[in-house]
């Protein structure tokens, strides 16, 4: 959902939250794959975090490897300027391990890669907005900043950030099950039950997030004790679900377990 008018307060929130999302690119031959990533800090180590499929090219939905690349490119803003630079990150098997084939039913689609952030990089860490008191609450709305691209040819490392606003869909899995029945009438009850079982890892957001939002952090809008709006990290975009025009997101509590090395 996009609004033509944004109040000063909303604009300030947008400018702040937008700084937690960064475009990433995997390039194979003449094909460029664009996703979104964020930074997480654990002790003295900085991690770049995104979907496993955005970095390693393996789709947990279809359980196939769509592309392979040994280098991931990060586009980052330069401190005290309006410039951006491209950083090459080693994602070869020596660093990230052999590409695994797994289902979203069995594990979450996240990968954290240790990086040395450039001295001139103007970056923020998602740690700033992690508060476990809000990870299980339903927000008033959700806000996501990603880097979708249109079909067709685009310049190398092209990115344009977009903001998506929406809400958590409490009936998301019911809608998804109904869509499976309609579009895949041959799917067994047990197959659909397995897919519904992903509710332990994922939830649904409306509206639909196009390709390029994958890996983007999800922010929830809440109210503090003074009834002032605050935003907290509540998950990570996984993929759009075109059949129901909604979006899979990894639960913030589950993502945090992974980030902390507990999953």
- Report pLDDT for 30: 86
- Strand-pairing partners, residue 69, are none
Of 43, 54, 17, 6, nearest in space to 238 by CA: 54
For domain 8-259, which CATH number applies: 3.40.50.1110, 2.40.10.120, 3.40.50.1370, 3.40.50.300? 2.40.10.120
Of 219, 262, 238, nearest in space to 10 by CA: 219
- Across 138-156, average pLDDT: 91
- Report pLDDT for 132: 95
Is the pLDDT confidence value at 95 over 70?
yes
Under the banding of pLDDT at 50, 70 and 90, the label for residue 179 is confident
- Out of 85-94, 157-166, 186-195, least confident range: 186-195
> Got the DSSP string for 190-215?
HHHHHHHGGGGTEEEEESPPPTT-TT
- Across 152-181, average pLDDT: 90
- pLDDT tens digits, one per residue of 11-70: 456 679 999 999 999 999 889 999 999 999 999 999 999 999 999 999 998 899 999 999
Is the pLDDT confidence value at 89 over 80?
yes
- Report pLDDT for 12: 52
Rg (CA), the chain: 18
- pLDDT tens digits, one per residue of 193-202: 667 778 899 9
- Across 231-252, average pLDDT: 95
- Report pLDDT for 192: 65
- Across 229-234, average pLDDT: 97
Note the pTM of the prediction, 2 decimals: 0.91
- Report pLDDT for 178: 84
- Across 180-204, average pLDDT: 76
C-alpha–C-alpha distance, residues 129 and 231, integer Å: 7
Q: Strand 162-168 vs strand 84-90: parallel, antiparallel, or unpaired? A: unpaired
- Strand-pairing partners, residue 249, are 203, 237
Higher pLDDT: 176 or 112? It is 112
Q: What is the mean pLDDT of the chain?
A: 90
Higher pLDDT: 4 or 155? It is 155
Is the pLDDT confidence value at 183 over 80?
no
- Across 127-146, average pLDDT: 96
- Strand-pairing partners, residue 78, are 121
């Amino acid at each position: 959902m996009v609004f033509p008018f944004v109040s000063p307060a909303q604009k300030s929130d947008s400018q702040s939250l937008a700084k937690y999302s960064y475009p990433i690119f995997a390039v194979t031959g003449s094909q460029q794959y664009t996703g979104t990533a964020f930074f997480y800090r654990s002790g003295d180590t900085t991690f770049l975090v995104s979907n496993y499929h955005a970095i390693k090219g393996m789709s947990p939905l279809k359980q196939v490897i769509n592309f392979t690349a040994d280098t991931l490119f990060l586009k980052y803003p330069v401190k005290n300027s309006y410039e951006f630079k491209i950083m090459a990150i080693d994602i070869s098997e020596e660093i990230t391990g052999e590409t695994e084939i797994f289902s979203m039913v069995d594990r979450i689609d996240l990968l954290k890669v240790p990086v040395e952030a450039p001295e001139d990089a103007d970056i923020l860490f998602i740690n700033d907005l992690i508060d476990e008191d809000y990870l299980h609450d339903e927000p008033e709305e959700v806000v996501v900043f990603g880097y979708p691209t249109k079909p067709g040819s685009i310049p190398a490392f092209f990115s344009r950030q977009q903001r998506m606003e929406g809400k958590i869909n409490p009936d998301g899995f019911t809608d998804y099950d109904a869509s499976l029945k309609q579009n895949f009438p041959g799917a067994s009850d047990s197959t659909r039950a397995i897919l519904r079982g992903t509710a332990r890892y994922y939830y649904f957001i409306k509206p639909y997030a196009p390709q390029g939002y994958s890996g983007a952090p999800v922010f929830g809008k809440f109210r503090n004790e003074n009834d002032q709006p605050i935003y907290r990290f509540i998950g990570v975009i996984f993929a759009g679900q075109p059949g129901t025009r909604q979006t899979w997101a990894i639960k913030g509590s589950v993502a945090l377990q992974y980030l902390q090395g507990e999953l």
